[in-house]
């Protein structure tokens, strides 16, 4: 019986770790092994998770959003005072979002729809999709991986610059990229030696 009790206790503890932390106050929230959900129409400070996803509800405002091993999803009309950053997770922003700083990933994809970014949009290994009127004040950057992991024969990163997208800065590609560039998009200089341009 003691072994069975310990078994169920372990299960309960594991389940507790993945229960989302629901936050509707204006304070910051930080977790290690939990996902975080911010309710619609809420205000929060810095939102940080190590091993969990982050969801920000519609029409909310936060200072920053950071994850290590988790995805980030922002609802409609979310305002971020600083930046949005993920190491190993996708970043998805719905229409009407505004990020005053950078949007940054290492191994995750980025999808921004009708979003305003005050800084750069940067990835290393993940794809980038900027869609439907998204505006970026800085550069769109695909960085070269550091260390021994870099291989010039690696598959190109896919970057899509969609309809009516405006990039005030440049497209800076430090390794191979397959670039989908809509005719109506306006961008700065395209910088990179291994860029294949595809016009939709």
Kindly report, residue by residue over 15-73, the tens digit of the pLDDT.
333 334 555 457 899 999 999 999 999 999 999 999 999 999 999 999 999 999 999 99
Q: What is the pLDDT of residues 79-91, one digit of tens each?
A: 999 999 999 999 9
Query: Coil, strand or helix: which one is 11?
Result: helix
Q: Give Cβ neighbours of residue 153 (< 8 Å, ≥ 6 apart).
A: none
Taking Cα atoms as reference points, which of 19, 27, 68, 28 lies closest to residue 47?
28
How confident is the model over 132-144, as a mean pLDDT? 97
- What tokens were used for 77? 């009309």
DSSP-assigned letter for residue 35: -
* C-alpha to C-alpha distance for 69 and 66, rounded to whole angstroms: 10
Residue 62 tokens read as 């936060």
**What pLDDT was estimated at residue 141?**
98
Query: Alpha-carbon Rg of the chain, whole angstroms?
Result: 19
**Beta bridge pairs of residue 159:** 128, 179
């Amino acid at each position: 019986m003691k072994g069975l009790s310990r078994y169920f206790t372990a299960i309960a503890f594991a389940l507790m770790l993945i229960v989302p932390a629901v936050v509707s106050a204006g304070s910051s929230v930080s977790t290690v092994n939990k996902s975080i959900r911010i309710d619609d129409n809420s205000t929060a400070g810095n939102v940080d998770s190590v091993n969990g996803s982050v969801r920000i509800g519609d029409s909310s405002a936060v200072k920053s959003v950071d994850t290590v091993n988790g995805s980030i999803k922002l609802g409609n009309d979310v305002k971020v005072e600083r930046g949005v950053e993920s190491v190993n997770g996708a970043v998805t922003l719905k229409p009407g979002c505004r990020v005053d700083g950078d949007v940054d990933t290492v191994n995750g994809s980025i999808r921004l729809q009708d979003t305003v970014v005050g800084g750069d949009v940067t990835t290393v290994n993940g794809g980038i999709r900027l869609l439907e009127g998204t505006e970026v004040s800085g550069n769109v950057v695909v960085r070269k991986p550091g260390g021994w992991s870099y291989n010039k024969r690696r598959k190109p990163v896919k970057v899509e610059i969609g309809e009516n997208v405006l990039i005030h800065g440049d497209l800076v590609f430090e390794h191979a990229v397959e670039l989908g560039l809509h005719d109506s998009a306006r961008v700065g200089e395209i910088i990179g030696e291994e860029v294949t341009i595809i016009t939709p």
